[in-house]
Chain A
Amino acid sequence: MQLGKSRVVALLAVASIVATACGSSATASPTAPAQATNGTPATQAPAATATGLPATDTTVYPRNETLYTSGKQWGAPSTWNPMDPNAAMGVVGLQYETLFLYDPIKDTYTPWLASNNVSDGWNSDKTTYTITVRQGVTWSDGSALTADDVAFTINLAQNTAIGSNLFTFVDSATVSGNTVVVKFKANPAYQEWMQWLYNTPIVPKAVWSPLNNADILKNLNQNGIGTGPYLYKTAAQDRMVWVKNPNWWAIKALNLNVAPTYIVDIVNSSNNVALGQLLSGGLDLDNNYLPGIAQIVNGGYNITTYYSGAPYMLSGNTAWLVPNTKKKPLDDPAFRKALAESINPNDVVVKDYGNIVAAADPTGLLPEWNKYIDQAQVKSLGTTFNTAKAKADLAAAGYKVGSDGFVTNKDGSPIKLNLEVPDGWSDWMEAENLIAADAKLAGINIDPTHPDYNTVVADRNGSASADPTFDLVINNDVQIGSTPWTYYDYIFRQPLQPAASRNRNYEQYSNPTAWALVQKLDQTPVEDTADMQSICSQLQKIQLTDMPVIPLWYNGEWSQVNNTYWTNWPSDTGNQVQPATWNGYWQMGAIFMLTNLKAVTH
């Protein structure tokens, strides 16, 4: 009686899960109101091709043909619009491609959807740039990539909904045969143009022309049409699945082929689960920060990282200590310098990260930009960790030690600086404790806190009616790229952006000379290395003397791989390519990680 009832109910419950799991995956696209505007040409999945691969129809993925990744996706994949920075893993890079690829290790550009060498596009006085569109590239619906598509993509930047500043220095883009001639305004931002060349996905005019309006971001673009090596297979709340495009242009043109037939990207959950999957062979590539990875790499689990020893990881961005330069005593460069001298980034590197990161150079520039660092100047002006010197500098600047052992303001009021990091970012929470402990030894009272993420952002940015209230935050917003201009833009940008969307110059540091230099840097052609170096040197001088931000350590491009099912991963002794699935890294050469992979025969 009761036995029967509860059994039936249990069966019903399980049946309902099965039914809904089937249902929810088949209709993974959320029923957003924009469904109606989702361009109809984009919904056809390409049929099996002449090569006979039925890959798009299978529902069980063979292990030796599937690559399991994780680390980029922090929530269910909800949009595949290449112009939305929240698009699912691989939309830009695997499905949509860019004109060039940039290799930060070698500092070279590889022609991709464009076929000219990157420096050959300029005319003699660098007022126009001619893009030669590669012939023989097809979209996934079979139509050909033409110069019209490229010109259309460039002109899309005029749509304010996309928020690109391209047309502040570009005048026009016109088609001429199979090339696109881009005409610039006076004093173009050459550095930003190079960034555009390798960062912007090319989209088909036929699909996007009717959608080019203020609502362009609302299109989810599920199962979109791109030129890339992968096609949309399926998505669910916890995964994103790509399937190989058998008609990828690079197979014939460059004799390249991506190895895995399926790529399954798993949505991040917890460190525990990620590590478990990695160790058990359920994950091949993981781009999460995993504490303890250094022990595991040497522990015989068949897991490797880019470097076989410290620092194990490539550097992806710099973590800075950002002071609010509008508040006392952080408005005093001498105090900031003393603060920098009191902190030992090596503490964080060793105790917090176990040597999987590296301490930052006093300029904060990533190792890839070493040639832009004026080493002699750094030797003379750069700060190094020295508690005694910090104390002496504080005293010399007029900060007296109070009765509690901490320095006070010049007017005698106590100094207590609140250092904020987002709650849950465990490595940063650890780091801020270590930083506070170091600073206290020099007499600076730092109080490490970890409010939730949105509160930190609100404190850091302020609002339309209130100034930012933070004292100190740790921030690492700007990633590696083709030019150090991005870093100097981050430090020196003027004027201050509106609070709600601010993502530069959080420290609100105002130095018109420095900003003029940054703009000059932007307008320097990338081939003029000497000019760039000279401007960088001047910027570094200002940065090292005024200390608007304090560089701490280089955050790693977290990447650990399991060699059980796939080998020939990127490494410093093997193929030196980027090993990350994060946004922006496919076009920095991570695509070659996939072409170099070899399946392990079992």
Chain B
Amino acid sequence: MRRYFGRKILTYLITFFVAATIDWLIPRFMPGDPVQGLVSRTGGLSESASKALYDYYNNLFGLNQPLPVQYLNFWTSLLHGNLGLSVYGNGTPVIDMIMGAIPYTLGLLIPAILLSWWLGNSFGALAARRRFLDNTVLPIGYILTATPYMWLALVLSFLLSINFKIFPLAGGYGFNLEPTLTWLFFTDLVAHWFLPFLSLFMVMFGGWAIGMRNMIIYELESDYSRYLEALGAPQSLVRKYAFRNAMLPQITGLALQLGVIVAGALVTEIVFSYPGLGHLVFAAIQSGDYFLLQGIFLFIIIGVLLANFIVDIVYVIVDPRTRVAMRGGTA
């Protein structure tokens, strides 16, 4: 057990190190000077004001130091939890901007992933049993999983927000409210949350449903199922075993899909101007703010690695064969 997890953790650490280095390196190669760009955006300044502002920001961001020094500074500050200062935020620490945005993104992702995974798999399993359900769930599932995230977001926004005016168009919470622990604020928060959540949920649901349906059929056709049937076991028992076997690839599939899901959340947030990480990434791209981008991507890297690790743990819990294999036996 320790050896197995130890190896996994080592792999993740090395991956993190390399990914973080690449993440740091890449924006440094962007042509154009972000501070110059920032000063230029203010436009119409007197010459001396322009120069003063340029020097001030250059100093603030530590961009006037040689690259190897910047790299070392990067790791020291990273270990202190300091991800640098944001150009887009005029010097606000990146970590503050990210912390302000993460709850919104997690608030979208976690319920969407869990609900869609659970519901999708259940419907997929059901569909594998009943032909009638199969004929409806299947095409819907294919259409949903083939839909690009942002297009579904657009359509939902068009229908429910603009045409029927049921849900608000954009933002995290209403502009006439301040965050307070009141029922009014809470319902407003949920109303703004619902459409982005729904569009993420629907696309993912389709994928899981299809995947599960295929897996169940595959399992139901396998030798042990046939054997159990031949022995006269009730259908429900066979299905129960098939379901558990079919779950395993779905769990690993979840880990593999994380990158795609995060990208989907990003574009969905852009459509709804939902103040999460996606919105921040979009703004950072437009202002050429490499510190902010670098910080956000570092977060995403850490998040994906963590999620991978969690999935590994869950897998070991769910599949007894791996535990046996770890102890050196054979299943």
Q: Do chains A and B touch in the complex (CB under 8 A)?
A: yes
Residues of A within 8 A of B (CB): 2-3, 5-6, 9-10, 13-14, 16-26, 30-32, 59-61, 63, 66, 68, 74-76, 78-79, 84-86, 160-165, 217-218, 234, 236-239, 241, 264, 266, 269-270, 273, 276-277, 280, 282, 424, 452-458, 461, 463, 477-479, 486, 493, 497-498, 500-504, 584
Mask of B77-99 contacts with A, CB within 8 angstroms, 1/0: 00000000000111111001101
Q: Is A269 touching B170 in the complex (CB atoms < 8 A)?
A: yes
Given the complex, which residues of A lie within 8 Å of B180, measured CB to CB?
Answer: 22, 59
Q: Given the interface contacts A24-B100, A503-B43, does A68 sit within 8 Å of B175 by beta carbon?
A: yes
Q: Is A457 touching B32 in the complex (CB atoms < 8 A)?
A: yes
**Which of B13-21, B105-113, B231-239, B302-310 interfaces with chain A?**
B105-113
CA distance A463 to B173 in the complex (A): 44
Please name the residue on chain B nearest to A12 by beta carbon.
B110
Q: Is B273 touching A163 in the complex (CB atoms < 8 A)?
A: no
Q: Which of the residues A66, A79, A85 comes within 8 Å of B176, measured between beta carbons?
A: A66
Q: Which of the residues A5, A13, A32, A479 comes within 8 Å of B106, measured between beta carbons?
A: A13
**Which of B183-191, B249-257, B258-266 interfaces with chain A?**
B183-191
Given the complex, which residues of B lie within 8 Å of A76, measured CB to CB?
Answer: 89, 92, 97
Q: Which of the residues A20, A452, A479 comes within 8 Å of B288, measured between beta carbons?
A: A452
CA distance A234 to B177 in the complex (A): 11
Q: Is A17 touching B178 in the complex (CB atoms < 8 A)?
A: no
Q: Is A282 touching B193 in the complex (CB atoms < 8 A)?
A: no
Q: Is A163 touching B46 in the complex (CB atoms < 8 A)?
A: yes
Shortest distance from the beta carbon of A166 to any chain B beta carbon, whole Å: 9
- Decide if the interface of chain A is mainly helix, strand, loop or mixed: mixed
Shortest distance from the beta carbon of B236 to any chain A beta carbon, whole Å: 17
Given the complex, which residues of B lie within 8 Å of A424, measured CB to CB?
Answer: 286
Q: Which of the residues A14, A163, A218 comes within 8 Å of B48, measured between beta carbons?
A: A163
CA distance A299 to B173 in the complex (A): 30
Q: Is A457 touching B40 in the complex (CB atoms < 8 A)?
A: yes
Q: Given the interface contacts A26-B179, A454-B33, A501-B54, does A6 sit within 8 Å of B48 by beta carbon?
A: no
CA distance A141 to B88 in the complex (A): 32
Please name the residue on chain B nearest to A5 by beta carbon.
B114
Q: Which of the residues A16, A79, A234, A273 comes within 8 Å of B273, measured between beta carbons?
A: A273
Q: Given the interface contacts A13-B106, A78-B92, does A503 sit within 8 Å of B47 by beta carbon?
A: yes
Given the complex, which residues of B lie within 8 Å of A26, measured CB to CB?
Answer: 179
Most B CB within 10 A of own CB, among A5, A239, A276 = A276
Q: Given the interface contacts A163-B51, A501-B54, does A237 sit within 8 Å of B118 by beta carbon?
A: no
Range class of the B interface residue count: 35 or more
Residues of B within 8 A of A (CB): 30-37, 39-54, 56, 88-93, 96-97, 99-101, 103-104, 106-107, 110-111, 114-115, 118, 161-162, 165, 169-173, 175-182, 184-186, 189-190, 193, 270, 273, 275, 279, 283, 286-288
CA distance A458 to B270 in the complex (A): 28
Please name the residue on chain A nearest to B49 by beta carbon.
A163
Given the complex, which residues of A lie within 8 Å of B34, measured CB to CB?
Answer: 454
Listed from nearest, the 8 A-B pairs whose CB atoms lie closest are A163-B52, A454-B32, A163-B49, A454-B37, A501-B50, A10-B111, A269-B273, A20-B103
CA distance A60 to B181 in the complex (A): 12
Given the complex, which residues of A lie within 8 Å of B103, measured CB to CB?
Answer: 16-17, 19-21, 24
Q: Is A86 touching B111 in the complex (CB atoms < 8 A)?
A: no
Given the complex, which residues of A lie within 8 Å of B110, measured CB to CB?
Answer: 9-10, 13
Please name the residue on chain B nearest to A276 by beta carbon.
B169
Q: Is B283 touching A75 in the complex (CB atoms < 8 A)?
A: yes
CA distance A79 to B270 in the complex (A): 25
